[in-house]
Amino acid sequence: MGMAAQPPAEPLVQVEHLDHWFEEAGQAHQVLHDVSLELQPGQIVILTGPSGSGKTTLLTMLGGLRAAQAGRLRILGTELLHAERTTLTRLRRQVGFIFQAHNLMPYLTALENVRLGLEVQPTWLDQGRPAMDGRAATMLADVGLADRADYHPEKLSGGQKQRVAIARALAAAPPLLLADEPTAALDRDSGRDVVALFRRHADEHRAGIVMVTHDNKILDIADRIVQLEDGRLVEG
């Protein structure tokens, strides 16, 4: 008997006709206009475009940090249009975030900061502290910081902090990774190593990655490059 055909995988991200606006001094200010975007399992999409074009706003909406106001925003099978806070919170636990502000806890070591990425996951909590510490150590080694596990953030350079944040975001193998300028603080070699890690994560876990970057040296990692201009998507 032949193998039954696999049903096509559902996109990890389905954005259709998404609009978004802020209130500023009593005025509605539209930042996203009719944005439509799909992300398939195993795919890396890079978002480029000038500052102020809405890239970070779009990234935060994909991660459930902001609810959608108009249009369709379906992430990992969950519709976020008018979503309740509990729905957004549940979604955020499945997403890895890497923001430009590293958001490391100053009173925790590098290893403990990476372990934080696991402590929000019930499956990891069930495995216990030694398993989480082992995974955190492996992730630090993957970003070239095995020898910095016991350092606090104040003793790390900007690039090292960035790599700790990347290790933390990848630790629980999230199905969706959202990264805002993840190589900005890194030298050329570290930047290439990090995007190679992203590629491996996408390939091994069928994860989707959306990355905002101005770094032309890493554009070749992308399956697709999409440009945002004045809140509108233009295929690169």
Tokens describing residue 205: 């876990």
pLDDT > 90: what percent of the chain? 63
Tens-digit pLDDT profile for residues 31-71:
899 999 999 999 999 999 988 888 989 999 999 888 788 89
Q: What is the mean pLDDT of the chain?
A: 90
Q: Tell me what the mean pLDDT of segment 130-141 comes to.
A: 97
At residue 134, the pLDDT reads 97
Query: In this predicted model, which residue has the larger pLDDT, 176 or 101?
Result: 176
Q: Is the pLDDT of residue 75 over 70?
A: yes
Q: Is the pLDDT of residue 1 over 60?
A: no
At residue 6, the pLDDT reads 58
- The residue with tokens 């099978």 is 77
Three-state SS across the chain? Answer: CCCCCCCCCCCCEEEEEEEEEEEECCEEEEEEEEEEEEECCCCEEEEECCCCCCHHHHHHHHCCCCCECEEEEEECCEECECCCHHHHHHHHCCEEEECCCCCCCCCCCHHHHHHHHHHCCHHHHHHCHHHHHHHHHHHHHHCCCHHHCCCCHHHCCHHHHHHHHHHHHHCCCCCEEEEECCCCCCCHHHHHHHHHHHHHHHHHHCCEEEEECCCHHHHHHCCEEEEEECCEEEEC
Under the banding of pLDDT at 50, 70 and 90, the label for residue 5 is low
At residue 103, the pLDDT reads 84
At residue 236, the pLDDT reads 56
Q: Is the pLDDT of residue 21 over 90?
A: no
At residue 68, the pLDDT reads 80
Cβ proximity of 38 and 224 under 8 Å:
no
Query: In this predicted model, which residue has the larger pLDDT, 163 or 100?
Result: 163
At residue 114, the pLDDT reads 97
Tens-digit pLDDT profile for residues 193-227:
999 999 999 999 999 999 999 888 888 999 999 99
Residues ≥6 apart with Cβ < 8 Å to 7: none
At residue 82, the pLDDT reads 86
pTM of the shown model: 0.90
At residue 177, the pLDDT reads 97
Which amino acid, one-letter code, is at 148? R
Q: Tell me what the mean pLDDT of segment 80-103 comes to.
A: 87
Query: In this predicted model, which residue has the larger pLDDT, 146 or 101?
Result: 146
Q: Is the pLDDT of residue 141 over 90?
A: yes
- Which is nearest to 49 in space by CA: 41, 61, 57, 38? 57
